[in-house]
Structure 1
Amino acid sequence: MRIERVTAEATGQVAVIDAVAALRYALWPVEDEAEHRAELAELAASPDAVVLVALSEDAEPVGYAEASLRRDYVNGCETSPVAFLEGIFVAPGYRLHGLAGELCEAVEAWGRELGCSELGSDALLENAVAHRFHQSHGFEERERVVYYRKKL
């Protein structure tokens, strides 16, 4: 396995973005893959974001992570800017082999390169798998929040 950064200007990135969009859709099935492709292309072109792809021995994308640089307040963090792990996903057949940890470490390295001293992330309250992932990779739980809304 190897991990590569998806960049807007690299040759052949359209095929990579298409494959990563399928992984992103598996993580967040609320948008269609075309919307995921557009967002991934935008993130890959941004100096304040990173999209990483884990490639199998056959160069098949089997995992991905995306992170952004957040300058606004990040819950539980004490500094600014903060590297923020927006999403991470590994295809079912490739789980439990340390690949998510490698992706997370690559995000950490990216954050350090930008001068960040903290990596933030979040997970839904009911997502126990994500909680275990974060705890096993050195994250500390800082707070729990319930968001409310009122239509006007």
Structure 2
Amino acid sequence: MLALVEGAHRGFAEVSLRHDYVNGCDTTPVAFLEGIYVAPEARGRGAARALVAAAEAWAGGRNCREFASDVSIENTASAAMHMALGFEETERVVFFVKKLCAD
């Protein structure tokens, strides 16, 4: 999905359908906001809200009852945007890895 601001592309959103477990969700499939970007000069002008609304409409047409996303813990700007767009935080996760052999 692309966002037009004053006739120019200024943002995009990538949305997928996830059929596996999605943290905090109870249904399947779940629409998942894989990524969203709005150019700095277009922020605060409704582009992200329009992109998310379009994604929600797309998801509704695919029988999704939930719309999920994630952000890294340190990305407070993205977390604030998600909250402003109606998302609710469900949980926080820390990932770990352990190397099993030398390369």
Q: TM-score, normalised by structure 2?
A: 0.93
* Structure holding more strand per residue: 2
Match of 1:119 in 2: 67
Q: 1 or 2 for the larger relative contact order (CA 8 Å, sep ≥6)?
A: 2
Q: Distance in 1 between matches of 2:18 and 2:83?
A: 22
Alignment: residue pair count: 100
Shift of 1:61: 1.4
The 5 Å alignment of 1:40-79 reads 52-58=1-7, 60-79=8-27
Structure 1 segments unaligned to the other structure (5+ residues) = 1-51
| 1:91 maps to amino acid | A
Q: Distance in 1 between matches of 2:83 and 2:6?
A: 29
- The alpha carbon displacement at 1:54 in A equals 1.1
TM-score, length basis structure 1: 0.64
Higher helix proportion (structure 1 or 2)? 1
- TM-superposed CA distance for 1:137, in Å, is 1.1
Q: CA deviation at 1:98?
A: 1.1
1:89 Cα deviation from its structure 2 partner: 0.5
Q: Does the 8 Å CA contact 2:5/2:47 hold for their aligned counterparts?
A: no
1:108 aligns with 2:49: no
**4+ aligned runs moved over 3 Å, structure 1:** none
